[in-house]
Chain A
Amino acid sequence: MSRRGWHARLSNGLDVIGEHLPGAGLVALRLRVSAGARHEGLHEQGAAHFLEHTTVQASNGKLHTAFNMLGAELHANTSPDETCYFVYVLSDYAPQALTLLSNMLAPPLEKTCVAERHVILQEIERAYDTPVVALYKRVLATLFPDHPIGADVLGTTASLAALSCSNLMDFWRRRYSPKHMTLAIIGGWSPEMASSVTEACSWPNSNRDGEVKDTLPQAQPLVRWVHKPALTQQYLGMGIAGPGLDIGLASYSLPILATVLTGRLNACLRRLGVPAQASAFYVPFDDCGFMFVMLVAPPSGASVGLQALKMVLKTLSAGHVQDDEWSSARTQLAVRLALEAESFTLSARNLIKRWRIARRPMTSTEEMAYVLALQDKDAFEILGQLGPTCCAVTLGSLAEEGLPELTSLIEASEQVFNSRPMSRTANEQK
């Protein structure tokens, strides 16, 4: 079944991208709104996520019943730079699902705002009790302390208390406009679908003034200890500042590099006999991003774990990426992408991501071919765009005096990134 990509820009500025899978029985729809924590102004922390809640609940649950009648279930999420609404249906119901998705984009109602505030407060508490989520949020906040991208997307108890429905309305007018949206459609839709898109998505442009100025986040080095004596393991997180999706296709080297880092770190931990588990993944936003490295070890092994991390970063930033480790990491990424292409929901997500990277409707087949052609010299190039700013956070029973190596990890890492022989052209150009 060959995949065919297409793109159309509607008269209101909405970008619609699609991937047609002839004969597929399902269609997935994903609407991306460029409305995340980074677009929030002062006193608006949590507004993007709050709006996601009010949008989904606007019709007091009737919307969900309407989706369910089509055999569909609407889901949504908010991140530092976007809010996404997504759903999949049997192909026959795709036009109706699209109409529902379109009708959902109404301004927030006072009643829904009051109700959802309580629900979001519960969501905040839940995140606090989940060590890995708490660690990730702390790393993001520590690396970008003076920019809304580092702020907790859920907001805080205080910021939610201060957010009024009119604040939300203001944010909604600024960001929920077709020029800030991308609609992805993937699967086996009927020919009538094209006209349904134009009909359903002809929302007017609000174009309201007073846009919050979006600045490029500046990462800052910091170390933070969070004492949680009840945890049995020590959770160590490191953030290494790096480029965003705006570097284009070169950004595909970043997840490959993360896999190389994970493999190398775990091999080093095994050699040192530390019963720890390491993982690294790259988190890209539009114009910046970071490598998130996580190490989970028993408190007795945390110190040696940090030494391993220091050693591995040193070898990696010196540009020593072997052909075979690059090629196996590259294959792993290709397999992951091919697996994700089997899921309609993930396919729609990846279609939008490819649009943001390549600015054209790139199919998953093209993407895989591109990934498999990446060479280890690409690793060398991309390494040059990582760092030097790093941050480290630890969560667990060890307080500052129990893990002083954390400060030296950051100092050593910055030295390593500063002294490397690579060019940093992309960042300097910015």
Chain B
Amino acid sequence: MSLTVHTLPNGLRVIVAPTATSELVTFGALVGMGNAHTCSPEVDILRQSLVDEHWRRPEAAGLRLSSETTIEHTWFELTSLRDASQMALEVLQATLMTPAGDDTAQRAATRVMRMRGQYSDHVFYEAVDRASHDLFAPHPYGTGSFDQPEQVPIVDGQCLATLHARHCQPNTTVLVITGSITGRMEQALQDGFETWPNGRVTVNIPPVTPNMASVATYHRPGRQVQVAMTFSAPSYGADGAEATQLLAEILGGKARIQDGRLRRAIRFEYNKVYDVFTEYMPYSLAGSFRIFTATTPDQVVDVVRLILRELRRLEMEDIPTAELNRVQLRLCTSLAHRYQISSIRARSLTQSLAYAGRLWTWKEEAEALKKVTSKHVGDLLAKLAPSTSLNVTLVGPVQAGTEAAIKAMRAGDVPSREKQRE
């Protein structure tokens, strides 16, 4: 099935991605408004107000709806059975084009603050936030949900309309429609959004210089300490992005590859943790490589030591071709699976158009991954030097002396392969 992109006169980009198998139609909108663009939690409140205002209407009742605000964008997704696609389209139009009124504004603000409270009750989410902060602060990429004002911000309809005009515009938005699409549906989508006035805005994020080699502790009660380790990685679509994706997978990946190096070392060899995983998060100006695990307070130093040992080993030794091939095949299989799913396909397509300026099909992604060699990963590791540059974030009942022990361990870091060659 063909994949097409149209740009409407108002600057709105529309991706049409039909699939023969689906009983469904999914509409997605990636709006270039994220927590990095404004003072947190403003964007979250704007998103929540749009959802509260338009998704509670009776005609939205049979749709599957989801929305999320991330660092650089906000995502709205509406899925319906084929017959109800017109209804989904109308709800999406209202969501993007009409800011919420006074009645909704304050309720949305209260709701966002409650949700942030719930988020902060979860130790893992606190670790995610703190780790981003430790890597990027004071840059907006390091803005988290923590250390927020305790009071709910006062918000009214006017305030939301201003925010909406500043961030939610056709030229900052990419629309996608996937699933069982007819020509009529495609036309209705174009007709519906052509009337969205063109209020062109420019979104700027200041240049970023990631932090390096920090060790930070955030105390909170609990049974385990969440260990988050981060280092700077390539931005979206930059040189080395595919090699970074493979590196994440070699270490374990987000899918918790049992054969991943960290899992083998920490879990299978020493039985110190239940779970350890890695992920590569690219943004438009920088990227973040993250390693997450959790263990009881008495084992934190050992776990950090084992992770560092594995990173150093990677920096010093070439990755065997068999291992690389295995990881490449697994990633490509996973891509083939993920792209069957409307929601994931919709999101990937809009992100590639918004950040890389072109559409990447899963086959192109797979081809790019297959081209990565052991040397590419080695060069990347030499450049990033994760064992020396990584930041360590500890959240939980951290024992006295843990932070000092980790700092002492870091002081004895051996140089990377590149440095040794020099």
Count A-B pairs with CB separation below 8 Å: 165
Q: Counting CB contacts under 8 A, is B100 at the interface? A: no
Contact B81 A71 (CB under 8 A): no
Contact A232 B121 (CB under 8 A): yes
Contact B340 A73 (CB under 8 A): no
Contact B114 A233 (CB under 8 A): yes
Q: Counting CB contacts under 8 A, is B358 at the interface? A: no
List A residues 323-351 near B (Cβ within 8 Å).
Answer: 324-325, 327-328, 331-332, 334-336, 338-339, 341-345
The segment out of A115-123, A167-175, A403-411 that lies at the interface is A115-123
The segment out of B21-29, B156-164, B195-203, B414-422 that lies at the interface is B21-29
Q: Counting CB contacts under 8 A, is A195 at the interface? A: no
How distant is A186 from chain B, measured CB to nearest CB, in Å? 12
How distant is A115 from chain B, measured CB to nearest CB, in Å? 5
Q: Counting CB contacts under 8 A, is B224 at the interface? A: yes
Q: Counting CB contacts under 8 A, is A126 at the interface? A: yes
Q: Counting CB contacts under 8 A, is B337 at the interface? A: yes
Given contacts A72-B333, A122-B224, A126-B223, 12 further A-B contacts (CB under 8 A): A68-B329, A90-B333, A125-B296, A230-B220, A297-B114, A328-B61, A332-B63, A332-B64, A335-B63, A343-B340, A343-B341, A345-B337
Residue positions of B touching A, CB distance < 8 A: 20-24, 58, 61-64, 79-81, 84, 107, 110-111, 113-115, 117-118, 120-124, 220-224, 255-259, 264, 267-268, 271-275, 294-296, 326-327, 329-330, 332-334, 336-337, 340-343, 396
Partner of A71, one of B62, B273, B330, B342: B330
Residue of B110, B336, B396 with most partner-chain A CB within 10 A: B336
Instruction: Evaluate whether A73 and B330 lie within 8 angstroms (CB atoms) in the complex, with A122-B272, A328-B61, A334-B81 already known.
Output: yes
Please name the residue on chain A nearest to B273 by beta carbon. Answer: A122
Residue positions of A touching B, CB distance < 8 A: 1, 25-26, 56-57, 60-61, 64-65, 67-75, 88-90, 115-116, 118-120, 122-123, 125-126, 128-132, 230-233, 263, 270, 275-277, 296-298, 324-325, 327-328, 331-332, 334-336, 338-339, 341-345, 365, 368
Instruction: Evaluate whether A68 and B257 lie within 8 angstroms (CB atoms) in the complex, with A73-B330, A118-B272, A335-B79 already known.
Output: yes
Partner of B258, one of A56, A116, A230: A56
Contact B258 A89 (CB under 8 A): no
Contacts of B271 on A, CB cut-off 8 Å? 115-116, 118-119
Contact A339 B341 (CB under 8 A): yes
Contact A230 B221 (CB under 8 A): yes
CA distance A342 to B272 in the complex (A): 37
Report 22 cross-chain contacts, Cβ distance below 8 Å, ordered by A residue. A56-B258, A61-B258, A64-B259, A68-B329, A73-B330, A74-B258, A75-B256, A119-B267, A122-B295, A126-B274, A128-B222, A129-B223, A129-B294, A230-B221, A275-B110, A275-B114, A277-B111, A298-B117, A324-B58, A327-B62, A332-B62, A335-B24
Contacts of B268 on A, CB cut-off 8 Å? 57, 60-61, 115
Contacts of B333 on A, CB cut-off 8 Å? 26, 71-72, 88-90
Q: What 4 pairs across the A-B complex have the smallest Cβ distances? A: A328-B61, A331-B62, A71-B329, A71-B333
Contacts of A129 on B, CB cut-off 8 Å? 123, 222-224, 294, 396
Please name the residue on chain A nearest to B342 by beta carbon. Answer: A342
CA distance A68 to B333 in the complex (A): 10
Partner of B336, one of A25, A116, A263: A25
Please name the residue on chain B nearest to A25 by beta carbon. Answer: B336
How distant is A265 from chain B, measured CB to nearest CB, in Å? 14
